[in-house]
């Protein structure tokens, strides 16, 4: 059974989903763009018999409150600080993380700040290596170097329905992805004020790439158990990003599924099986 809650963190009333008994090993599930904790709707029931699962929505995503930009900074560092305070508010002192897309640099910050809290990492298309960035990032890097108003407006195409559908369906088996996820994402990302909040995050993504060496150092210094399970046809974060984990974590487990960016939409059962086997070994 999944239950639904809200808790106050700074200026945000943070929405989160929860499943599994609290005396079970904890797993924090961190969503990506343009999604929300809704992306874990099918994964959580598959693991709730053995794990305590918590999946929050970040500010400017899903059901979490989104303070206006004059009073709240929409940066990855700030979202990570909200995530850090959220884990403390819900009583997570030791936990594994499932990180995906935007949730990856947020989760990796949490791991750097509190390595003693992290029991294991599952990275599903959650990149921390330059070689994992697909060709689409070349245009983003040009924007980060010269963030003109015209380019900012151009990247607003990321919120178009056609773009979001493409994120969900590209590289997936035909007919394997239902419309629910991308339809809900389109609704949330187009709520009043959110487009500009999301544009702030698109620009600030450069801070994540700048931190890649520090994320990698965290891995080398702490050697956390890590499972990389990747949608192999993802044009955003390509398979080389999964394979690169072996450079810093020789014991990392690397698996690919025949899907795209939102691999849970088509392969949640297989990913749940891989997670269960990995977490049983990693957590004992």
| Whole-number Cα distances in Å, 187 to 60, 184, 199 | 12, 5, 16
Dihedral (C-alpha) 55, 60, 64, 68: value to the nearest 10 degrees? 150
Q: What is the DSSP letter of 133?
A: B
How many whole angstroms separate alpha carbon 255 and alpha carbon 271? 9
pTM of the model: 0.97
3-class SS of residue 161? helix
How many whole angstroms separate alpha carbon 41 and alpha carbon 22? 19
Domain count, the chain: 1
| Owning domain of residue 135 | 2-283
How many whole angstroms separate alpha carbon 11 and alpha carbon 9? 6
pLDDT band (50, 70, 90) for residue 284: confident
How many whole angstroms separate alpha carbon 133 and alpha carbon 75? 20
| Mean pLDDT confidence for 216-230 | 98
How many whole angstroms separate alpha carbon 122 and alpha carbon 109? 15
How many whole angstroms separate alpha carbon 218 and alpha carbon 66? 31
What token pair was written down for 179? Answer: 């419309």
Task: Give per-residue pLDDT as tens, 151-207.
Answer: 999 998 999 999 999 999 999 999 999 999 999 999 999 999 999 999 999 999 999
Looking up residue 243, the CATH number of its domain turns out to be 3.40.50.1820
Looking at every residue in the chain, the average pLDDT score rounds to 97
How many whole angstroms separate alpha carbon 5 and alpha carbon 75? 24
Task: Give per-residue pLDDT as tens, 103-162.
Answer: 999 999 999 999 999 999 999 999 999 999 999 899 999 999 999 999 999 998 999 999
How many whole angstroms separate alpha carbon 182 and alpha carbon 39? 10
| Mean pLDDT confidence for 224-235 | 98
pLDDT band (50, 70, 90) for residue 99: very high
Q: Catalytic residue numbers?
A: 261
3-class SS of residue 157? helix
| Mean pLDDT confidence for 32-51 | 98
Alpha helices in the chain (DSSP H): 43-47, 76-89, 103-113, 136-145, 149-154, 161-169, 180-189, 194-210, 212-222, 239-243, 245-248, 264-283
For residue 130, what is the enclosing H or E element? none
pLDDT for residue 11 = 86
């Amino acid at each position: 059974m999944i239950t639904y809650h809200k808790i106050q963190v700074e200026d945000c009333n943070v929405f989160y989903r929860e499943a599994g008994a609290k005396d079970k090993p904890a797993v924090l599930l961190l969503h990506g763009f343009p999604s929300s904790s809704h992306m874990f709707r099918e994964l959580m029931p598959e693991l709730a018999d053995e794990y305590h699962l918590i999946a929050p929505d970040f500010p400017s995503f899903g059901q979490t409150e989104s303070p206006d930009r004059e009073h709240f900074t929409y940066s990855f560092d700030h979202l990570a600080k909200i995530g850090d305070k959220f884990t403390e508010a819900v009583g997570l002192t030791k936990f594994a993380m499932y990180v995906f897309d935007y949730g990856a640099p947020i989760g990796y910050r949490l791991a750097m700040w509190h390595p003693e809290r992290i029991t294991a990492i599952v990275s599903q298309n959650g990149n921390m290596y330059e070689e994992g960035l697909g060709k689409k990032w070349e245009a983003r890097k040009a924007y980060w170097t010269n963030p003109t108003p015209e380019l900012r407006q151009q990247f607003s195409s990321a919120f178009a329905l056609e773009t979001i559908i493409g994120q969900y369906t590209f590289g997936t088996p035909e007919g394997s992805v239902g419309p629910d996820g991308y339809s809900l994402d389109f609704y949330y990302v187009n709520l009043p004020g959110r487009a500009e909040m999301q544009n702030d995050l698109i620009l600030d993504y450069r801070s994540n790439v700048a931190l890649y060496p520090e994320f990698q150092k965290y891995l080398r210094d702490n050697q956390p158990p890590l499972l990389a399970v990747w949608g192999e046809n993802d044009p955003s974060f390509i398979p080389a990003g999964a394979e690169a984990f072996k450079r810093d974590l020789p014991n990392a487990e690397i698996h690919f599924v025949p899907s795209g960016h939102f691999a849970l939409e088509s392969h949640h059962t297989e990913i749940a099986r891989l997670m269960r086997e990995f977490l049983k070994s990693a957590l004992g």
